[in-house]
Amino acid sequence: MAVTGKTSLDRDVTDWVAAHDGKSGFYPLLEGLDALGVRLAMIDRAERSIDVQYFLMKPDSAGALFAMKLLEAADRGVRVRFLLDDIFTTVDDTAFLVMNQHPNIEIRLFNPVGRGGIYYLSYLGNFKLANRRMHNKSFTVDNRVSVVGGRNIADEYFELLKEAEFRDFDIFAAGPVAEDISATFDRFWNHKLAVPMEAFAGNKALPDLVAARAELDQAALEVADSIYARALASPLMRDVFDRKVELFPADGKVLTDDPEKLLQKISVDHQLLVTALAAVIDDATSEVVVITPYFIPGERGVQFWRSIADRGIRVVVITNSLASNNHVPVHAAYARYRHAMIAAGAELYEVRVDSSKLPEGSAQASYDSMTLHTKGLLVDRRLTFVGSLNLDPRSIDINTEFGVLIDNADLAGGIAERFFASLPGFAYRVTENESGKLRWTVQIDGKEVVEKNEPQAGKWLRFKAFLSRILPEGQL
């Protein structure tokens, strides 16, 4: 269990919870720099423990800054536990081994792929297990505050790339729910698939921590100064921790798969998270909004959504278009179900790849391309789910997933209001014309624009999507 005690965060959160009838507090992190700023502020305020669990980390600006701040926390005596899935984490083992030398830092890789020989052959040689991944994402400090959502530790998730943006969503959580998140972290941390970093040392001649720190700190500082300043300048970061922002009080329920799912044959019995969410959706009375980067409902999913819409409940699904999707084969599989989902009564939207590109001279950040990476669910403008779950076979059947369900109408209603206000220009509404052909409609500069083919996608991209239809849907 995470180390706890009377830290300043514990005192502040305990006082807040007592004043709000024992509920947890939540606040949405809609912008990338806010999400980075809050994480850095949490590290700076840590006194006892930091528990980090992510699907991937990259050796880029965000990764270097994150590593530097974790080392600073460890220097203060904070115990740092860092759990990463191994498959898409591109930080070199040596860097983790160096960090792992710190007496207050322990790093584990989840379900690691063998290091001997050629990487891809090692993966294919143990495909049955290597294909099963921990997709969970959580970040918890002093067992009292957490951030959960869709972001990993890489530049694209925090608005640090000039040419492209991943539109993502996290939520800051404080109070009892953070203890439940810690319990889930422990379950994965203590599982036999979580392998201590020492197992990868081999015969590597590692530099000592002091020597390596100088090089790491220099690399981090070269990119960190401006980024750190921008993140710390986030007014939301300051307001949250100076208690100038009122958190949304709510009952929060952690929904998670069990790590044993990865060792079991694919079956409904181990689809714990999606089964719990299906029950929540089945109890809806007026509206369900699904936001997911990857949407492959399958025949069973189409029938499920039809059963919801047939009860008069509005079903809205927003996902990536072909142009904005960073996984073309996933879009190819999703495209098979567009007609069926429309016939089932769902409102279907696909993101404009240039929806984050603003006019020249705009004070806001502008990006040439945008990919939706948000994973969320709004039910009856009262319940909000945020986590790691994509609505595709990989998330449902193959990987473990994690998230939090929050019961607060003000929070859900505010997110829904902002969502629907931006939707006409942010995404194409996909419908059928009188002949049953798909058409894509969007508002651009106040004018309605209708497309008859996959919008903003060239012939080569469409051809790749066509070829991708041969790939097995169950692996996407």
Residues 414-439 have pLDDT tens digits of 999 999 999 999 999 999 999 999 99
> What's the mean pLDDT when you consider all of the chain?
89
pLDDT above 70 coverage of the chain, percent: 89
Residue ranges of alpha helices (H) inside 56-175 are 61-75, 93-100, 119-125, 127-130
Q: 338, exposed or middle or buried, with CB in 10 Å at 0-12, 13-18, 19+?
A: middle
Q: Which residue has the higher pLDDT, 382 or 208?
A: 382
Give the residue-averaged pLDDT of 81-102: 92
pLDDT at 366 over 50: no
**Amino acid type, 102:** H
- Exposed e or buried b for every residue in 265-279, given b needs 16+ CB within 10 A? eeeeebbbbbebbee
Query: What pairing do the DSSP bridges indicate for beta strands 447-451 and 314-320?
Result: unpaired
Which residues are marked as active site? 135, 137, 142, 373, 375, 380
Q: Which of 317, 342, 336 is nearest to 432 (CA)?
A: 342
In the block, residue with structure tokens 């849907």? 473
pLDDT at 233: 67
2 pLDDT above the threshold of 90 = no
Encode pLDDT of 32-77 as tens digits.
988 998 998 899 999 999 999 999 999 988 898 899 899 999 999 9
Distance (Å, rounded) from C-alpha 69 to C-alpha 172? 19
Q: Model-level pTM?
A: 0.92
Listed in sequence order, the residues at least 6 apart from 187 whose beta carbon sits closer than 8 Å to its beta carbon are: 256, 258, 259
CATH number of 8-241: 3.30.870.10
* Predicted local distance difference test score (pLDDT) of residue 225: 60
- Please check the confidence at residue 164 and state whether its pLDDT lies above 90: no
**CATH number given to 251-475:** 3.30.870.10
Domains 8-241 and 251-475 share a fold: yes
For helices 328-335 and 459-467, what crossing angle results, to 10°?
A: 70
Judge whether 384 and 415 are in contact, CB under 8 Å.
Answer: yes
Model pLDDT for residues 239-257, shown as the tens digit of each residue:
777 777 889 999 999 999 9
What is the residue extent of each domain of the chain? 8-241, 251-475
* pLDDT for res 363: 41
